[in-house]
């Protein structure tokens, strides 16, 4: 493998079509497409300032690097990436990619990031300002994760999330086969139009959660006081600890909680309109 160390590059395509290359303590200054059409690349202790540095790359590792705000849209149309211990200040990262693993990565300006990606693993990752994160992505595994940003995970399929804090309006819209464990989810309109969304040991906050959902499952979850008007037009099997402020017109299934505030079943409920709503005391025969 060829090695380049303690060097600086700028302009257009300075390392275009490089293969079997290790760059260490290299700075990529303003310009475009520094490492386009490459394969088997290692980047260690590098700084990326120019746009589009890794496009159409097959097989690369990025370790202890910095992508400044100028390195926007840095990784697109690429596959087989391992990124560790890296700070990404640039928006619009990771598009149309397959087989990527991020560990110990922080993305403080994650606008429109991780779109149309497949086979994604995240561990110990933090993202902020992450509006429209993970749009149309699939086969995702996430562990030890913190997120601030709205409209996340829209149209995603086959997602497993463990031990996370997610602050996101309109999270998990139109998703399919998503399971979330041991997570705090805060933000209105959670999980609308989802299919096979399962929440286990989760804390849910925000108005009108989990409406229009199909085959929704909740196990051992809790609802904050502002999580009102829940489950409208949903088919649901929910086991909730503690109080639920209000439930409105669930379509079918079962909802069990410690207690309920308002239960709204009006003329606008949709068929089959047979959802069972009970307290744990009623289930256990306690009067």
Supply the pTM of this predicted model.
Answer: 0.95
Partners of residue 214 on adjacent β-strands: 195
Average pLDDT, the chain: 96
Segment 220-249 shows an average pLDDT of: 97
The pLDDT tens digits of the residues spanning 156-168 come to 999 999 999 999 9
User: Rounded to an integer, what distance in angstroms lies between the CA atom of residue 122 and that of residue 34?
Assistant: 26
Segment 147-151 shows an average pLDDT of: 97
The pLDDT tens digits of the residues spanning 173-193 come to 999 999 999 999 999 999 999
Residue 112's closest CA among 135, 143, 78?
A: 135
SS3 160: strand
State yes or no: pLDDT of 146 exceeds 80.
yes
Angle (nearest 5°) at CA 175 between 250 and 256: 30
How many CB atoms within 10 Å of residue 15? 19
């Amino acid at each position: 493998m060829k090695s380049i160390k303690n060097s600086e590059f700028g302009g257009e395509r300075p390392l275009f079509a490089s293969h079997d290359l290790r760059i260490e303590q290299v700075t990529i200054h303003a310009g475009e497409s520094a490492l386009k059409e490459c394969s088997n690349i290692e980047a260690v202790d590098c700084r990326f300032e120019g746009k589009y540095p890794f496009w159409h790359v097959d097989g690369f590792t990025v370790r202890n690097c910095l992508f400044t705000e100028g390195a926007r849209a840095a990784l697109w149309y690429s596959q087989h990436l391992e990124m560790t211990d890296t700070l990404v200040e640039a928006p619009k990262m990771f598009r149309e990619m397959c087989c990527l693993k991020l560990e110990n990565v922080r993305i403080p300006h994650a606008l429109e990031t991780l779109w149309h990606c497949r086979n994604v693993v995240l561990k110990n990752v933090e993202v902020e300002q992450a509006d429209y994160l993970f749009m149309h992505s699939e086969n995702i595994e996430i562990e030890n994760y913190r997120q601030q940003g709205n409209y996340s995970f829209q149209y995603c399929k086959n997602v497993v999330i463990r031990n996370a804090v997610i602050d996101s309006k309109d999270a998990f819209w139109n998703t399919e086969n998503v399971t979330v464990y041991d997570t705090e989810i805060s933000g209105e309109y959670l999980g609308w139009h989802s299919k096979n969304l399962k929440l286990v040991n989760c804390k849910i906050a925000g108005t009108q959660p989990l409406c229009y959902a199909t085959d929704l499952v909740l196990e051992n979850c809790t609802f904050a006081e502002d999580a009102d008007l829940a489950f409208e037009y949903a088919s649901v099997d929910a086991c909730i600890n503690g109080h639920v402020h209000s439930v409105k017109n669930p379509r079918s299934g079962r909802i069990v909680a410690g207690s309920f505030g308002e239960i709204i079943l009006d003329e606008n409920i949709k068929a089959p309109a047979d959802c069972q709503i009970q307290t744990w005391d009623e289930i256990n025969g306690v009067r």
